[in-house]
Amino acid sequence: MANDSKTWRCGKYELSFDRPRIMGVLNVTPDSFSDGGEHFDQDAAIEYGLAMLDAGADIIDVGGESTRPGFTPVNPDEEARRVLPVVRALAKEGAIVSIDTRHVAVAKAAVRCGASIVNDVTGFTDPKMVEFVKTSTCGVIVMHAGEVAAPARTHATVQLDTSAAAFVAEKAREAAAEAAREAEKPARRRRGKLLGEPKVEAKLPGGVVQPSLPFGESEPAPESEPETPAAEQTAPVVAAPETVPAATEAAPEPNDHLAAMMRRSARREEAYVPTSQLRRFTLPDSAPIMRRVMGFLSDQARTLIHAGVSRDRICIDPGPGFGKTANEDIVIQRETAKMASLGYPLMCAVSRKRFVGAVSGVTEAAARDAATFGVCLGAIQAGANIVRVHDVAGFAQFLNGYWAVAKPQPRRAFVAVGSNLGHRCDNIRAARDMIAEIPLTCVSNCSRIYESEPAYETRQDAFANAVIEIKTELAPLVLLDELQKIELELGRDRSKKAKVNGPRTIDLDLLWMDGETHGGKKLRLPHPLIGERDFVLVPLEDLMHDPARFFRYNGVEVKEPEDRVGHIVGELGRM
């Protein structure tokens, strides 16, 4: 019930979660970790985005900067050049488009081009990004990207006097000198060691030769402090001299904490606490991990709300793979129910991530889809609302199969029926009977059959029209396929040689389905032409009170009767 009651308002769209929503990943990049370069061409990216919509995606997440481990930061101008044409084209086709960016300039431009969601991998830690989204109506996705991206706590600036500053600097120099002297001292041999043990020399990078310790001797531990998250640094720090980056590793942009963190992730360093030491349990304790993740997500969501962003615009994402080890990612996924209890729509964005490969034994990222589906199913059962995947067609099949048997959920829908060839009323009644035979579907009500003027292509015979109300448990695209099968069985010509809007034995249009918004070439929901079709709106008056008002509320522009096409001219009888 809690999942069903959540809604996500994204600009002019409102997503309900009576079923999980699918977000398709569209990387317009040359270097993404699993599909880099496949859709770098803008035309190819647009075509692929439309194909994902036709395969079952509810949202398309467009990104122009790879944030894989070890990524190279992209200039905002270049990122905008990559993504804006794609965003504009997909939004024009009725798609709910998410812009995956951490740059406020790119987010602003994408929203102007039609994007309905801003997906910020740095969790809206940039005050400029917060300032922008509070003035818009777009949906927002707050993602946890490790402690490096967490906002630093603000404290009052304290100016030390000259003597105090000198004292701190002097103490730092003395500590460094003492550490250097200790490192130069030969290691003392412990009692009970054998004499005459040979020393083995190890060659280090740069040709430096370092003698190893005799057998049984332990190396002194380096005198370094554990890494402290930026959010917890409160004491003054003495700045160290700048170092030149290694020639083999490109330096990240200044202050680019995300790039620095993902570089560390690429080197397989630990993001939080070391988990390689001996321990009694297979996974680290979940409490400190979840305090960090859920604390960050809650804090950032509250920051947005206090800034003026409506709560029903906010979605949260724990950010699997960002500054986290495989063990930590598994811990976080197992605690999905706790994150869902925060009350915000929750995203599961695990597609093809390294930890999925770790638990499945699949090395190649593009081959991890089956394992991804398994992790996503666990998240859905625990309360996740949105699933971000690369293989939309495969996951849509997987989800439809699972949902059909696990979640009984009949929903109301309207189907427009028309015919102007052969026995028109008999064709409509035959279509009604065949619709009633569709699996998981029943006919609950029918309008009367009306005669209307032909619309769009006027040089043809008048049409017989009706609207059928159904209840169905099928996904919209699956239901559409069933309706098109009925058209073919009743003689509808859908070949390329058939005249658009020309004569037909039967025409079945899915007009509207409860809780569904969809874009693309194959299906648009609500049907974009409802508001101008008199031959649809008049029959709908038999089934609902004031259909014009109903569809205006659902974001459809409804024209006045005199401005519509296909006007009703008479009644042909009951269904």
- Which of the residues are catalytic? 492, 504, 507, 509
Tell me the two tokens of residue 29: 């990049």
The separation between CA 459 and the C-alpha centre of its own chain, rounded to angstroms, equals 47
Distance CA 391, CA 410 (A): 27
Distance (Å, whole) CA 100 – CA 61: 6
CA–CA separation, 139 vs 290, rounded Å? 25
Q: Other CB atoms closer than 10 Å to residue 374's CB: what's the count? A: 14
Q: Helices H, strands E: what count in the chain?
A: 17, 18
Task: Enumerate residues 6+ apart whose C-beta is below 8 A from 188.
Answer: none
Contact 543, 467 (CB under 8 A): yes
**What's the rounded Cα separation, in Å, for the pair 202 and 363?**
32
From first CA to last CA, the distance across the chain in angstroms is 37
Q: Is the dihedral of CA 425, 427, 433, 438 positive or negative?
A: negative
Amino acid symbol at 190 = R
Q: Strand 441-446 relative to strand 463-472: parallel, antiparallel, unpaired? A: antiparallel
Tokens of 481: 């396929």
Which residues lie below 8 Å from residue 447, measured CB to CB, with a gap of 6+? Answer: 466, 467, 468, 539, 540, 541, 542, 543, 575
Crossing angle of the two packed helices 369-382 and 326-334, in degrees rounded to 10: 40
The vertex-503 CA angle with 502 and 506, nearest 5°, equals 115
Instruction: Give CA–CA dist 364/536, Å, rounded.
Output: 51
| Cα-to-chain-centroid distance, residue 468 | 35
In 3D, which of 22, 8, 130, 83 has the Cα closest to residue 397?
A: 22
Tally of residues, the chain:
575
Structure tokens at 7: 């809604």
Instruction: Centre a 10 Å sphere on the Cβ of residue 319 and count the other Cβ atoms it contains.
Output: 25
- The phi, psi pair for 234, rounded to 5°, reads -120, -20
User: Torsions phi, psi of 25, nearest 5?
Assistant: -90, 125
3-class SS string, 87-130 = HHHHHHCCCEEEEECCCHHHHHHHHHCCCCEEEECCCCCCHHHH
